[in-house]
Each structure stands twice: as C-alpha cells, then as structure tokens.
Amino acid sequence: MNVRTLTICLALACSHCGLRAQSGGGEKIAALIERNDWFALEQELPSLRETASPVLRRLASTLTDIFFNRDESALAGIDTLLGRHRQEIGLSTTASLVYFRSEILGRRGEYGRGADLLAGFFDEMRPYVSEKDFPAHAQLRRRLDLLRDVPPPRLVRPGSDTEIPLRIEPILHRGELKGHLPYVAVGIGGKRHSFILDTGCAAGAFVSERFAREAGIRIVGDSILASGIGDRYAKIGTADSLTVGDIVYRHPVFIVMPSEATADTILRVDAILGLDFLRAAGTVRLYPKARKIVFPAERTAAPRKRSNLMIKSGQPYLEALSDEGDERLLFHFDTGNASADLHVHYYDTHRAQVEAAGRKNAVSHGGYGGTIEDMTVYTLPAFRFRVGKTLCTMENIDVNTQPVLAMQLPNADGALGMDFIRLFDEVTVDFERMSVRVRK
C-alpha cells in the first residue's frame, strides 16, 4: 500500500570524520558505507574487517546489525560508538545513530527511553543546531513521547503452527485490472475485520478514523507525519490487543488517518496490518495458490546463511540478481503493492534498452497522501531475474520514469508486490534470518 512512517536516511560523512583515511579493506568498507551498499557490506565485512581501523569495524558491524534486524548487537554497537567515538564518527553519524537507537527502543516498546534519548540529543546540540535541522528526529520524539504510557507490544502465540485463510482480491481502476491485494481477518474488540496484509506499512497497523471509532481504538495523540506518495499528518492510537488466528498481539500501535484522507487515493482502504506484527511473528509463509498463510511455531535451527532481505527506513528490501547473474538488483518488498514495477533508478541505468524494448504508456499511481496522474512508463513484455536460485519472470511490467514514493530509496530498482507473490506456490519471509525464499 506504500504507507510508511517518516524515518531518516543515514547521512555518513566518512570523508569528514577521519574514516576515509583507510587502506585496503578499510577503504573498501568506507566506500560501501558511503554508497549505502548494505548487502555488499554484510557479505564482504568478515573478510575486510581485519584491515580496517577499530572504529570503522565497529561502525560497519553496527550498521549491518541495524539493517539486518540484529537489535541486541546493534544497541551494543551504538552505545560503544556514542560513548567512546563521537569525535571520530562526527555529528551526522552521531545524529543517525541516536535516531536508530531511539527507533529500536520504540519498536521494543521502550517509548519513554527512546523519547528521552532524543530529548537529550536536542539539549546537547542546542548551542550548535536547531531541532528544525533534524525534522525526522523531532517527529520520532513526538511519536514516542505520545506512546510513553502505552505498555510494550507483545506477541502471545500457541505452541503449534497458526494457519489462517488468505483472501486475494483483484483491484480495478477505471475498468482496468491494476493487480491484486492480500487480505486477512483480524480481531479487535471481539469483532472480525478485513485487513490488507502489507509489508510496506512501517506502522503496526494503519486504519481510517472511521474504523478507529468503530473498533474502539484509543487515540493518544495527533500530528504524526506519515508518508506514502505524499506526506499527511495522522493520529496515533492503541488497543488492548488484536488477534490473527490464534495469535494475540497485545498493545498494538495504530496510525489513524484523518477523515478526509484515504489510505489509498485509488482504492478505499480502512485497515492495514503492517510490518511490526510480521517482524514480531518472526516467520510467515504465504501460499497464494492455496489461499492460506502459516505462521510456524518452531523457529528453524539452521544456521543463518547469507541474507537477501534488509529493512531500511522502516521498509523491507530484497536483493536479487539479473537473469544473467551479472547485476545485483534491489527491490522494495511490498505485499501492499497490488502489482510490481521498476523504478526510475532502473530506467536511468538501462534507458536505451528500456526504451527500445518497452511500449510507451501513461499510468496513474495512488497511495496515501496523493495521486500521480498520467506518468510516462515503458511496459516491458518480460523482465527476468533470480531470487536465490529461482528464476522469476514478470510479464508486462511497467518501468517508471519518475519517483513515485515520497521516501523511495534512490538506488532501488523496483518494487515487488502481489504480482510477484502470485508467481509461486510458497513464499517464506524469515525476519530472524532476514531472507525471502520462493518455491514454484
């Protein structure tokens, strides 16, 4: 659904904080950090770290811990860097690490600690910079402060697998099929409601104001900035619990869109179940052809292999390879996207091939905060790439010629939504090992 709460992009000024003055592996680590190439850093760091300085090793390890969902190690690394190495890492990196630490604390339900950390950062920086220079920090502080008295979220589940129905509905706009969306039944206050299952929603859940009133969601504050195609202010609320099958998720957080807004400007949407719940569940297996979802009770005992999934700016991104295997591709992994598309970064990188092979067209994009009308795209008859060892073919995929999302990663090649999911018999998303596995 392309809904996300406002987050921060990492601003690492290696050349200004002494980390650029490296040689060998250290120089390569610094270059990967500056390029925001986190998959390459995660893969190559073990072989490079011995020739890097201790500070750069710690910074690189901490960043990969942050983006690959290793919260305990990330917090320990952030504490070391902020406590011992502020002079070496510089102000911009310090600000980013403070943000990341507060974000992790907020996700764990330690809202007051996260808000206080940001308040202390602002107090410390006040002689030099203003809060207006850090709008994402200010928004995160406000959100955490509003949640200060809300108990931490907690997932309570049975000892066996949880299996629930998956409803996949076609989406029509002006009589044209725009793709499909996944729906699951969610219980709140003793009633069952239909929610879109959306990995692209960074909030715990995203609901309309009308739905919040009917479901008894308690509003705890407003003026929370949420971002999709555009930016809109929303409210924030909570409830005692929500249920998915026999899984109980206690004290969920809801982003509540105002009455005059919709979660999607093309499709009326009242309720979205987002990434927080899925991360808490650990692993989810989607069976789109069998129309079911399974949340395994047992965690796999297999060792963690190379990750092909990361979470950046509150969003999951999947690494894939081109059909020939000579190009690494980065995709937004968004089940709330009714279809799939390639982004302007891919278009700029492959413009000649795209314009030669594609059919020029105009499409509209709708999402929270706005609509893009009649954007020029090139429709490719087939686009092939590999996820792991599995060859994937997307037919009639659009290549966008301009950015769509307000906070789209500039180096993302595209978005894989339900058109991608529906290719397979099984899609397993493992948020502990940060992997996506597909099976036909």
* Residues 6 or more apart whose Cβ sits within 8 Å of residue 352: none
Backbone angles phi, psi at 196, to 5 degrees: -75, 135
> Residue 279: pLDDT band by 50, 70, 90 thresholds?
very high
Please say if the pLDDT value at position 395 is more than 60.
yes
Instruction: Tell me: pLDDT of 263 over 50.
Output: no
Band of residue 403 on the pLDDT scale cut at 50, 70, 90: confident
How do residues 6-33 score in pLDDT, each as one tens digit?
Answer: 444 445 544 434 455 555 678 999 999 9
Amino acid at 264: D
Q: C-alpha dihedral over 337, 341, 345, 347, to 10 degrees? A: -160
Q: What is the pLDDT of residues 210-258, one digit of tens each?
A: 999 999 999 999 878 776 545 678 899 999 999 999 999 999 999 998 7
User: Residue 217 gets which letter from DSSP?
Assistant: P
Mean per-residue pLDDT over the chain, rounded: 88
What's the angle, vertex CA 266, arms to CA 196 and CA 408, rounded to 5?
75
Q: E strands of 343-433, at which residues? A: 359-367, 370-387, 390-400, 414-416, 426-430
Quote the tokens at residue 129: 């910079």
pLDDT in tens, 162-185: 999 999 999 877 777 888 999 999
Nearest partner of 168 among 184, 152, 186, judged by Cα: 184
The whole-angstrom separation of Cα 376 and Cα 298 is 47
* pTM recorded for the entire structure: 0.90
pLDDT of residue 270: 87
> Which of 101-110, 374-383, 407-416: highest mean pLDDT?
101-110
Report the first-to-last Cα separation within the chain, whole angstroms.
Answer: 25
Which residues are CB-contacts of 82 (< 8 A; sequence separation ≥ 6)?
Answer: 94, 97, 98, 101
Instruction: For residues 52-78, give the mean pLDDT.
Output: 96
Query: Worst-scoring range by mean pLDDT, 57-61, 295-299, 360-364?
Result: 360-364
- For residue 110, give the DSSP letter: -
Structure tokens at 296: 């395994």
Residue 301: predicted pLDDT: 60
Give the tokens for residue 208.
């309309």
SS3 43: helix
In sequence order, what DSSP letters do the residues of 266-314 get, joined into one string?
SS---EEE-HHHHHHH-EEEEETTTTEEEE-SSPP-SPP----EEEETT
* Model pLDDT, residue 304: 63
Backbone phi and psi for residue 260, each to the nearest 5 degrees, phi listed first:
-80, -5
Which residues, including other chains, have CB under 8 Å from residue 130's CB and lie 6 or more apart?
A: none
CB 337 within 8 A of CB 417: yes
Give mean pLDDT, residues 188-192: 93
As a whole number of angstroms, the distance between CA 147 and CA 141 comes to 10
